[in-house]
Copies of this chain bind each other. A is one copy, B any other.
């Protein structure tokens, strides 16, 4: 079961987890990304490429399902305006065995960072800046290519 959602509404982790648990798995791994208030950031705006984003997330989930034995994958990304403390992304995996759930979860969040068309703009009081892509995100995504 693959569930992908891109929505401007807050991410409801308890609901996402309950849906994953219903798959009867022995292990569930999750990653939740939260907007940080570092460096005076007052708000974060997420832009995306409607249509392509959903396809990109589904393709990632399918890749994970081909690589690990998974019962369910959930990927939820919030878009629009958020404030520090808001959840921006949730990735959850369900599997019979913990290592598969954990590895697939790590793979999905690493690859989401480089393979899905989202762009972040930070608001710092009256000023705004587009967030630069980070080399370490590319490195993190690349490590999965070696079959690590």
A109 within 8 Å of B (CB atoms): yes
Q: Are B36 and A32 interface neighbours, CB within 8 A? A: no
- Which of B21, B26, B106 is close to A102, meaning CB atoms less than 8 Å apart? B106
A29 within 8 Å of B (CB atoms): yes
Q: Are A98 and B13 interface neighbours, CB within 8 A? A: no
Residues from chain B with Cβ under 8 Å of A84 in the complex: 24
The smallest beta-carbon distance between A88 and chain B, in angstroms, is: 9
A67 within 8 Å of B (CB atoms): no
Q: Which residues of chain A in 111-148 are interfacial with respect to chain B, using CB atoms and an 8 Å cutoff? A: 140
A88 to B, closest residue via Cβ: B26
Q: Are A29 and B85 interface neighbours, CB within 8 A? A: no
A69 within 8 Å of B (CB atoms): no
Residues from chain B with Cβ under 8 Å of A109 in the complex: 98, 102
Residues from chain B with Cβ under 8 Å of A17 in the complex: 13-14, 32
Which 3 pairs between the two chains have the least Cβ-Cβ distance? A14-B14, A28-B32, A26-B36
